[in-house]
Structure 1
Amino acid sequence: MRKRIILLVLFCLATLTSSALYAQSRASLQGVVSDAETGEALVGARIEVKGTNAVVGTDADGRFELKTLSSGRHTIICSYTGYGTKEEAIDLEAGRTVSLNFVLRSRVNNLEEVVVTGTGTRHRLVDVPVATEILTAKEIAAYSAPTTEELLRGVSPSFDYAPNLMGSFMQLNGLSSKYILILIDGKRVYGDVGGQADFSRISPDQIERIELVKGASSSLYGSDAIAGVLNIITKKNTNKLSAYTSQRISDYNDRKTNTSLDFNIGKFSSSTNYFFYHTDGWQNSPFEYIKKKGSDELILEETYKKTVRAQENMGISETLSYYATSNLSFTGSLQYNKRQIFTPTFSEKKPYDLDYRALTTSLGANYLFGNGLHSLSWDAVYDRFRFGYLYHDKDSGESLINSQGVTEQPTFFPGQLRNKNDQTRYSTEVRGIFTLPYAQRLTTGLEYFREELVSPYNLAASEAVASTFSAYAQDEWKPLHWFSMTAGLRMVNHKAFGARLTPKVSLLATLGALNIRATYANGYKTPSLKELFARNELSSMGSHTLYLGNPELKPQASDYYAVGLEYNQGPVSMSVTAYDNELRNLIAYIDIPTTPENQAAGIKKTKLYANVGKARSRGVDFLCDAAIGWGFKLGAGYSLVEAKNLETDKWLEGAARHHTNVHLDWARHWGKYRLGIGLFGRIQSERYYDDGNSPEYSLWRLSTTHRFAHFRHIVLDGTLGVDNIFDYVDDRPMGVNYATVTPGRTVFAQIAIRFNN
C-alpha cells in the first residue's frame, strides 16, 4: 500500500512538472481590437493564427488572449463583420506574453467579407470567381425578422414567396424551391414541407451570414442545385465563455425566444442553443371561395379559417468540438426540431394538427497540414424529417388506401401521430483541398448518400429508396494577377438513373475598379422519391383530386449562362448580372383521365407527374451599395425575371417579373451607446397563376437598434420597429392567390443580453 502511494505521488509530481514545462515552452498573445474612427471596442472580433485551428474572440472591452501557442513566427489575422481584415506577422518566444492591438476601419460595402460557398474554399467577396450575394450579420440584426423566411424575403430581391393556406413557397429567380439547394454550414438540409425546404429548423438569431450562389452548382454540390445554392452560416463562439438570450415580441402574440451557452475549455468546445417561436396567427378576410357542390362554380361563404394559422416551433442543438492538435479537429452535432400548426376543430372540422419533426446528427474531422496549404475533411450526416397529423380528437371517418391498394378506415385517437411522410437521408463525404504550383488550388471529393421514404397511405409501395455515389474535382487557377478561373466536374452515379457528368466553369477578370465575371454550368436533378412513387388525395374548395407519382420520369437537366460586371470604387459598389437558365425534362403535374373506380370514390380530377418539356428562367440582377455621406448607407437591389414553360409559353406558377429591395441605414456612437436606424422596402409586381394572378404590392419596415456595453463582460442590445408602415393588407376572400399574407401594420421589440469572457 505504501509503495502504491509513493508511486502515485511520483506520478502526480511528474505530471505537474511536465505540465509546467509544457506551459513554459509555449507563448501567449493578448491585445485589444477597436474602431479606427470612434475608438469603440469591437465586441466579438475574430482573432486567428493562420495555418492552425487557434481562434479566439474579443470580449465586451474588445480584449482577446491566446495561450499555449508554439514559439516562432506566426501570421495573426483579425476580422470583424462590417470592417476590414488585417494580418500581422509576429515572433513569439517561449514563456513570454506578447501584446498586439488591432485598429479596424468600417467598410462601406461587403467586398472584404470572406465567402466559401461558390468554390468551397475561402475567398474575399471581391476576388471570388463565382458571383456570390451575401447577407451580413449587420443586415440580419438590423432587419430583426421573426423567421428565416421573412428575413430572406425582406433583404434580398432574388427571393420570393408565394403564400397560400398550405405554407409559404420560396422561389429564386422564378424557379421553385425544389431547384434550390439549402445548406446549413455547408451541409445539405433534407426533408421538405409541401415540397419546399424547411427553414423553421433555424432561428435568425443563430445566423452569422447567408451566402447565395445563383445558377447551377451541381459540379460541386450535386443534385437539386439548379436554381442556386443558399448557404446559411451559423454563429461560432470564440470566447472562453459566452451566454446569450433574446426575447422578441410583436402583435398577434408573435413571440420568439433564443438562448445559447458556449464555452471553450482547453481542447474542448461546446455550443448549445435553444429557440422557441409562437404566433396566434391572423385572418385577412372572414370570407372564403368554395366550389358549389356538383359544379365548378365558386360561391362566397363566411369562414373562421385563419390566413396564417396559430403555430409553435421549437429547436434545440448541441455541437461539440475537440482540437486534438493545432492542426487536427473533430466535431459532432445533434439538432432536434418540432413544429406544430394548429387546426381549430370549431372552424375547419379537422381532428388533427400538422406536426413536423426533424432530427439531424453529424460527425466530422478536419486535418490541416502543417504548412497550412492543404487540408483533408470527412463528414457523416444522418437526417430524418417526419411530417404527420397529431390528433386532438378521435377520428375514424376517413377512408385511406394503403400501399397494397386496399382501402382501410383506421381509427385514430387523441395524442396519436399519423405518419404522412417519413424521410431519412444518410450521407458521407471526404474532401481534400490542395495548394498546387503555378497558383492553383485543387478540391477533390467523394460523396455517397442514401434516401428512404416511408408513407403508409401516400406511396404506391411500402417504402421508396434511392442512392447516389459521386466523385468531383475542381481547380482554381490564377495565372495572372488580374485573371482567375475555376473549373469543376462531378460524376454522379444514381442507382436508378445511371451516370452523368456535370461541368462548371467560372472566369474573373479585374481591370482596375471593374470586375468582369462569366459562368457556364450544367445542372442535374434526379426525380424525388415523391415524384416517382407518391399517391396523394387532397381536397381544395370542395373538389377532391388524386395526385400520382410516375416511376417512368427522367432526370431534369439545365444549362446556365451568366455574365456580370461589378464596379468598386471608394464608397460605391455596383454590379449587374445577366443570366439564362435553360431547363430540360421539366417535371410538373399534368391532367389525366380519372378511372371509373376513382370516380366512384369521389375523386373529380387526377394529376400525374410527367416530364412536360422545357422551361427557361432568364433575367437581369442589379445590386448597389453606397456610403452617401452624413453617416448614411444605401443598399438597393432589383431583379428582372422571365420564367416560362417553353412548351406552353405560359409563366411558371407563382413567378413575378419585377422584384426590388431598398435598404437605408444610419448609425452613430455616443460613448458605449450605439444607435442604428434602418429603413427597408420591398416592391414587387404581380405573380402569374393559371387561375388568377396575385396583385403587386409594396411593404416598408422601420427598425432601430440600440447597443449598451457598460460592463466589461456584458453587452445589452435592443431593437424597436414598425413593420408594414403603410398598413398594406391583401384582404380578398380566401381561395385566391395572395400577394402577401401580412396582417397589416405591426410593432415589434426585441431585447438581447450577451455575456462574453
Structure 2
Amino acid sequence: MLYTRILTFVSMIFCVQTILAQSFNVAGKVSDQSTGEPIAGAKVYIPQTGKGALVDANGNFTISNLPPNTYTIVASFIGYKPQEKEFVINNAPVKLNFELTTESYALNEIVVTGTGTEHYLKDAPVQTEVISGKALKEFSGRDIEDVLSGLSSSLAFTPSEMGSGIHINGLKNDYVLVLIDGKRMNTSVGGQNDLSRINMENIQRIEIVKGAASSLYGSDAIGGVINFITKRNKEELSISNSTRMGEHEDIRQSNNFVLGNKYIKSTSSFNLKHTHGWQNTTDEWHRNRLIHNSVTKTVNRSTNYTIGESLLFNPTKHLELMGDISFYEKWTDRPMGIPNWRYSDLYYRNQDYSLGGKYKLPQGHWISFDSSFNRNDYFYDYHTREYTDYHDYEGNRITHYKGDRVLQSSQRRWINNLKAVFYLGEKNTLQTGIEHIWDKLVAPLRLEGNQAIAYSIDYYIQDEWNITDRLNLTAGMRYGHHKDFEHTFSPKISTMYKLGDFNFRATYSHGFKAPTMKELYYHYYATIMSKFKAYYGDSNLKPQRSNYYSVNVEYHKPKFTASVTAYHNRIKDMNSLQSTTTSYEDRMLLVEETMHYVNLAKARTYGMDFTFDITLPYNFRIGGGYSYLDAKAQRTDDESADDYMQYVHMDATSKNNANLKVQWDKKWDGYKLGLTLNGRYQSTRYYTSHGNAKGHQLWRLNSYHGFINNKKFKLDVNAGIDNIFNYVDRTPFGLNRATTSPGRNFYVSLAAKFQIKNF
C-alpha cells in the first residue's frame, strides 16, 4: 500500500515536470507596411522573459523555449513605430507577422556622404542635410533644380542652356561636387551639371554636405557635395510608370522594369523630359541698347531622354558585383530672329559605362572598387547656312549648311577608385583609398592642337575614433598629384559631442580645386549679357585653395528637431575672368570685350543655416530653414571701376534665403490624402554688372492621393498649383533676373507600380 502511494506521488511529480518542461517557439516575419519589404536587423523581444531575436535578411525571426503562458511581444526598428502584440502559447508553436509603419523622425535617416561610411543622421560626425524620398514625393516638382531650391534654403540655381548652375552657400557650380551613389557625376566642358539626366523617380534620398570635402572627394568639393542616393530595388519583378504633365507642354516620364532573384538583378530604366518653353518678356538689352520685339525665350523648347541598364550580381554572400550603362540625348531649339540671329540649335549626347564590386571581409571589413568611363559631346545643329570666320587647312572659309551637326566639344573622363574600410575594435573605423582620374577634351577650333589631356592620382585616409560614447573625432587627409600642378595635401578634422538631446559639432577642412579644362585651355566666343565676348583660358593658372570652419548645434526629439550651423570659408588664388585688351584680330570679328582667366581674386564667405522640423497633433507637420550669407570677392573684371580690387558681393549670391513646408495627411481604408504647402523666399541677388536680380517669393500647393498601396500594387496621384500668386520676372533679357518661372501653372502626375517579392 505504501509502495503504491509512493509510486503514484512520483508519477504525479514526473507528469508535472513533463508539462512544465514542454516549451514552444514563436516565429514570424517583420516587414515595412507601405512597401512590404523585410526589415532586416529589426529587434523582436518578449519583455516578460527578456528573450529576443534579430530579424534576418529575409525578415524572419524565431524565439524558442517558451513554456505555455500568455505573452506580450514587441517588434521595433529605428525609424519605425514599435508594434506590440499579445499571444498565448498552449500546446503548439505560434506564428506572428508584423508590418511596421515609418516614424516621422528625420534623424533616423542613414547617411554616408559626410564620412564615406554609414551613420544614422543624428550620429553623423559631419553635419549632413537630407532630403528624403518622402519629401520628394510630397513636393512633386518639375525637375531636380525645382526640388532642391524649394526644399533647401542654402541651395540656389541659375539655369542655362548648358545645364544647372548650382550655388551652395555662395559658391558656384565649379566648387560643388555632384555624386550619384558616391560616384562623380561627369560634367560638361562648361563646368555645368545637367541634372535633368537624373531619374527623379529613382532617388531614395539626397544628402548635402556643405563646406570643403576635399580630403575624401578631392578637387571640385570646396563648396560642398550633393549626393543622390538611388533606390535599391529588392523585388523579384516590378514594373513602374510615373508621368507628370503641366502647362507649356511640361512633361516628365519615367519607367522602370526590375527582374531578378536573390543572385542577380536587372533594372532597366527610361526617363524623358520635355518642355515647349515660354517667353516672359519681349524686351532685350542687347549691345548697350534696349530692343523690343525680341524672339529670345526665357526657357527654350527642349527634349531629353535617358535610357539605362543596371546589373547586380551576388555570386556569394561575400561578393557583390555591379555594372551600369546609360545613354542620354538632349535637343534645345533656339529661336532665330531679333536681336540674336542664331543659325543653329544645340544637341548634347552623353554615354556612361561603369563596373564595380564590393567584397565583404570577416569582422565587417570590406573592400570596394569601381571603374567608370563617360563621354559628353556638345554639338551645333544648323537649321540654315552660316559663313563662319574660320578657315580650313587650305585657307578656305568654313561654311555650315542646314542639317549639319558640328562638334563643339567632347569631354571624355575615366575614373578608377579603390576603397577599403576596416573596423578596428569598437572605437575606430579606418578608411583608405586611391582615386585616379583621366580627362581628355576634344574641341576643334577652340583648342590648340584640337585636344588637351589632364590626369590626377590621389591617396586618402580617414579614421573615425569614438573616444567615448559621447565624443567622436574624425580626421582625414588626402595627398594628390595632378599633371599640371605640384603635389597637394588636404587635411580635415571633425568632432562631435553628445549631451542629452543635443549634438555639438565642429569642423575644419582644407579645400583644393584644380582649374577646369576650360579655364586652362579653352578659347571661344559668345554673346553673354548683351555683349559679344572672347574668352581665353590660361595654362599657367594655379590651383585654388580654401580653409573652411564650421560649428553646429543640433537638438533632437521624436517630434521636434532643430539645427543651427555657423560657417566661414576663405579661398585663395580664386580663378576669375579678367577684362583684358582686345586684340586686332578679335576686333575684326566684332568682339566687344575680351575675358581672360587669371589667379587674382580672393574670396570669403560668412553665414548661418537654421533648419527645423515639428510634428504637431492631428497629423500636421511644419518644417523649413533659413540661410544668411555674406559672400564677397575682389572685383577684377574692370580696372576702371571704382571698386576694382575691392571686396564686392560675389555674383549670384543673396543674403537671405528661406523655405517653409506645411504638411498634413490622413489615411482611410484604401485611400491616403496628403496636402503640402511649400514656400521659398530669396532676397536681392547681387551681380557686379548688368543689374541685381529682384527679391521674390514663390509658393506652391501639392495634393497627394494614395489610392492603392499593398504588397503587389501601388497607385498614387499628385495634383497641384505651382507659383500660386503668379509672380513673373519680366526683366529684359541681357539683364539679370530673379526667376525663370512662367507664373501660375497647374500640373498633375500619376505613378503606378506592380511588384512581386519572393526572396
Q: TM-score range by the shorter chain?
A: 0.7 to 0.9
For 2:296, which of 291, 305, 325 is the aligned residue?
Answer: 305
Kindly indicate whether residue 688 of structure 2 is the aligned counterpart of residue 698 of structure 1. no
Q: Secondary structure at the match of 2:279?
A: coil
Q: Secondary structure at the match of 2:730?
A: coil
In the alignment, the residues of structure 1 paired with residue 577 and residue 82 of structure 2 have an alpha-carbon distance, to the nearest angstrom, of: 50
Q: Which amino acid aligns with 1:675?
A: L
Give the CA deviation at 1:413: 3.6
Give the CA deviation at 1:617: 1.6
Q: Residue in 2 aligned with 1:317? A: 308
For 1:417, which of 405, 416, 419 is the aligned residue?
Answer: 405
Do 1:237 and 1:263's aligned partners in 2 also have CA atoms closer than 8 Å? no
In the alignment, the residues of structure 2 paired with residue 672 and residue 722 of structure 1 have an alpha-carbon distance, to the nearest angstrom, of: 25
Give the CA deviation at 1:301: 1.9
Do 1:264 and 1:270's aligned partners in 2 also have CA atoms closer than 8 Å? yes
In the alignment, the residues of structure 2 paired with residue 67 and residue 307 of structure 1 have an alpha-carbon distance, to the nearest angstrom, of: 52
Q: How does 1:496-515 map to 2 (within 5 A)?
A: 496-515=484-503
Q: Residue in 2 aligned with 1:344? A: 335
In the alignment, the residues of structure 1 paired with residue 441 and residue 551 of structure 2 have an alpha-carbon distance, to the nearest angstrom, of: 40
Q: How does 1:521-670 map to 2 (within 5 A)?
A: 521-540=509-528, 543-646=531-634, 647-670=645-668
In the alignment, the residues of structure 2 paired with residue 246 and residue 180 of structure 1 have an alpha-carbon distance, to the nearest angstrom, of: 30
In the alignment, the residues of structure 2 paired with residue 407 and residue 531 of structure 1 have an alpha-carbon distance, to the nearest angstrom, of: 29
Q: Residue in 1 aligned with 2:753? A: 754
Q: Which amino acid aligns with 1:700?
A: W
- In structure 2, relative to structure 1, the CA distance for the partners of 1:120 and 1:574 (3 Å cut) is same
- In structure 2, relative to structure 1, the CA distance for the partners of 1:69 and 1:568 (3 Å cut) is closer
Q: Which amino acid aligns with 2:310?
A: T
In the alignment, the residues of structure 1 paired with residue 710 and residue 608 of structure 2 have an alpha-carbon distance, to the nearest angstrom, of: 48
Higher RCO (C-alpha under 8 Å, 6+ residues apart): 1
Do 2:680 and 2:697's aligned partners in 1 also have CA atoms closer than 8 Å? yes
Q: Residue in 2 aligned with 1:175? A: 171
- In structure 2, relative to structure 1, the CA distance for the partners of 1:268 and 1:506 (3 Å cut) is same
**TM-score, length-scaled by structure 1:** 0.87
Do 2:40 and 2:56's aligned partners in 1 also have CA atoms closer than 8 Å? no
Kindly indicate whether residue 324 of structure 2 is the aligned counterpart of residue 333 of structure 1. yes
Kindly indicate whether residue 640 of structure 2 is the aligned counterpart of residue 676 of structure 1. no
Deviations 1:201-254 (A, max 9, x none): 112212110000100001001100000010001112111111100111000111
Q: Residue in 2 aligned with 1:240? A: 236
Give the CA deviation at 1:300: 3.0
Q: Residue in 2 aligned with 1:379? A: 370
In the alignment, the residues of structure 2 paired with residue 143 and residue 322 of structure 1 have an alpha-carbon distance, to the nearest angstrom, of: 34
Give the CA deviation at 1:327: 1.2
Kindly indicate whether residue 356 of structure 2 is the aligned counterpart of residue 356 of structure 1. no
In the alignment, the residues of structure 1 paired with residue 297 and residue 720 of structure 2 have an alpha-carbon distance, to the nearest angstrom, of: 25
Kindly indicate whether residue 389 of structure 2 is the aligned counterpart of residue 390 of structure 1. no
Kindly indicate whether residue 359 of structure 2 is the aligned counterpart of residue 367 of structure 1. yes
In the alignment, the residues of structure 1 paired with residue 551 and residue 59 of structure 2 have an alpha-carbon distance, to the nearest angstrom, of: 47
In the alignment, the residues of structure 2 paired with residue 83 and residue 158 of structure 1 have an alpha-carbon distance, to the nearest angstrom, of: 29
Give the CA deviation at 1:48: 3.5
Q: How does 1:59-458 map to 2 (within 5 A)?
A: 66=58, 83=80, 101-104=97-100, 106-163=102-159, 168-192=164-188, 194-291=190-287, 297-345=288-336, 349-371=341-363, 373-393=364-384, 395-400=385-390, 409-437=397-425, 439-458=427-446
In the alignment, the residues of structure 2 paired with residue 650 and residue 407 of structure 1 have an alpha-carbon distance, to the nearest angstrom, of: 47
Q: Secondary structure at the match of 1:154?
A: helix
In the alignment, the residues of structure 2 paired with residue 100 and residue 478 of structure 1 have an alpha-carbon distance, to the nearest angstrom, of: 38
In the alignment, the residues of structure 2 paired with residue 690 and residue 100 of structure 1 have an alpha-carbon distance, to the nearest angstrom, of: 67
RMSD: 2.8
- In structure 2, relative to structure 1, the CA distance for the partners of 1:689 and 1:491 (3 Å cut) is same
Deviations 1:323-376 (A, max 9, x none): 0111111100001111111123456532321111111110001111243x2001
Q: Which amino acid aligns with 2:469?
A: H
Q: Residue in 2 aligned with 1:3? A: none
Q: Which amino acid aligns with 1:704?
A: S
Q: Secondary structure at the match of 1:398?
A: strand
In the alignment, the residues of structure 2 paired with residue 250 and residue 226 of structure 1 have an alpha-carbon distance, to the nearest angstrom, of: 37
Do 1:112 and 1:124's aligned partners in 2 also have CA atoms closer than 8 Å? yes
Q: Residue in 2 aligned with 1:94? A: none
In the alignment, the residues of structure 2 paired with residue 281 and residue 187 of structure 1 have an alpha-carbon distance, to the nearest angstrom, of: 32
Deviations 1:124-148 (A, max 9, x none): 0000100000000010011111211
In the alignment, the residues of structure 1 paired with residue 391 and residue 424 of structure 2 have an alpha-carbon distance, to the nearest angstrom, of: 59
Do 1:165 and 1:307's aligned partners in 2 also have CA atoms closer than 8 Å? no
In the alignment, the residues of structure 1 paired with residue 551 and residue 38 of structure 2 have an alpha-carbon distance, to the nearest angstrom, of: 34
Do 2:546 and 2:572's aligned partners in 1 also have CA atoms closer than 8 Å? yes
Q: Secondary structure at the match of 1:730?
A: coil
In the alignment, the residues of structure 2 paired with residue 390 and residue 629 of structure 1 have an alpha-carbon distance, to the nearest angstrom, of: 57
Q: Residue in 1 aligned with 2:732? A: 733
Give the CA deviation at 1:117: 0.5
Do 2:166 and 2:176's aligned partners in 1 also have CA atoms closer than 8 Å? no
Q: After alignment, is 434-443 or 721-730 more displaced? A: 434-443
- In structure 2, relative to structure 1, the CA distance for the partners of 1:642 and 1:408 (3 Å cut) is farther
For 1:467, which of 455, 463, 485 is the aligned residue?
Answer: 455
Q: Residue in 1 aligned with 2:473? A: 485
Do 1:84 and 1:112's aligned partners in 2 also have CA atoms closer than 8 Å? no
In the alignment, the residues of structure 2 paired with residue 366 and residue 102 of structure 1 have an alpha-carbon distance, to the nearest angstrom, of: 32
In the alignment, the residues of structure 1 paired with residue 422 and residue 94 of structure 2 have an alpha-carbon distance, to the nearest angstrom, of: 32
**TM-score, length-scaled by structure 2:** 0.86
